[in-house]
Amino acid sequence: MSADSFDPKPAADQIDAICMRLFDSWCDTRNVISLTFLLRCWPMISMDAVSLRQLCNTLGELQESHGNALAKGQAELLVELKQRIDDLQVHGADDRAIIRHSRDRAWATSKLLRLCRIEP
C-alpha cells in the first residue's frame, strides 16, 4: 500500500477502540492510576499529530512508571496502540482527513448531547 492510498480513518477508529477497551478494563479493575493517565489525553477531540503524540507519551509514561500495575493483556493493548499511532504518523495523515475526522466527532458529540438533552 502506498502512502498516497493510506486511509487514516481505520487507524483512528482502532486507536479509539483500544482506548475504550483500556478504559473499560481499568474501570472494571478499579485501576485508578492507569485511568488517571488515560483520562489526561483521551477521549481525543481530534486525531491531530499533537494529540496523538500526547496520548503516546502519556501512556508511555504510565508503562514506564507503573508497568507493574498493568495486566499482560493491558500491556499488549498499549503496544498495539503505539503501533496504530505510529501508523498514522508514518503515513502522515493529511490535514483534510484529520479535519474531516474532527468534524465527524464534533457532529457525533453534538448529536449525543442533544439525545441526552445536555446543553453545552
The per-residue pLDDT for range 14-40, each reduced to its tens digit, is 999 999 999 999 999 999 999 999 999
Distances from the Cα of 18 to the Cα of 14, 80, 119, angstroms:
6, 8, 29
Q: What is the pLDDT of residue 115?
A: 65
Residue that is written with C-alpha cell 482506548 in the block: 19
Name residues whose C-beta falls within 8 Å of residue 40's C-beta, 6 or more positions apart in sequence: 54, 58
Question: Which residue ranges in the chain fall short of pLDDT 50?
Answer: 1-3, 93, 95, 98-99, 120
Q: What's the pLDDT at 1? A: 45
- CA end-to-end distance (rounded Å), the chain: 42
The residues spanned by each domain of the chain are 9-93
Predicted local confidence at residue 16, as pLDDT: 93
| pTM given for the model | 0.68
